[in-house]
Amino acid sequence: MTDDSKPGGKTRILILDDEPIVCKRLKPAFQKAGYEVEAFTDSASALSRVEETRFDIVITDLKMEGVDGMRFLTRVKELSPDTGVVVITGFATLDTAKESFRKGAFDFVAKPFKLSDILDTVRRIEEKQRQDKGLRAG
């Protein structure tokens, strides 16, 4: 896995959701807000992409056909513990939320959500990542 993150200082985001409309909505919204975005509707391609390269932030659905979002989350954290993961799901239960936090998710956003909510979440991750970096540097 190469670390070619933040070319030109842009935060890199990967989005995985098997419903194309979610990708269609999120991708341009994040691009407009100045992020570099890759979006996937099948988990196999998304998995091979995270094996290849590091993303600052991953936004993933939990329940998808093919691969379990929880396993995707686990793999992302194994490959790159610093990557901030946001879990988005329509089947929000307390248990799944707890489990995703235990596996290292930064936040849990129930669908449907407002674009401004997810943008805020991502900004909070960036803030935390900056702080962590500051701590490490200090």
Q: Does 13 bind another protein (CB under 8 A)?
A: no
Q: Does 136 bind another protein (CB under 8 A)?
A: no
Q: Does 22 bind another protein (CB under 8 A)?
A: yes
DSSP-based three-state secondary structure for 39: strand
Q: What is the C-alpha separation between 64 and 34, in angstroms, rounded? A: 28
Contacts of 103 (CB under 8 A, 6+ apart): 70, 73, 74, 77
Q: Does 20 bind another protein (CB under 8 A)?
A: yes
Q: CA angle 83-69-119, nearest 5°?
A: 50
Q: Does 28 bind another protein (CB under 8 A)?
A: yes
Size of the site for another protein (CB under 8 A): 19
Decide whether 39 or 54 has the Cβ nearer to another protein: 39
Structure tokens at 16: 């995985």
**Binding footprint of another protein on the chain (CB under 8 A):** 17, 19-22, 24-26, 28, 32, 90-91, 111-116, 118
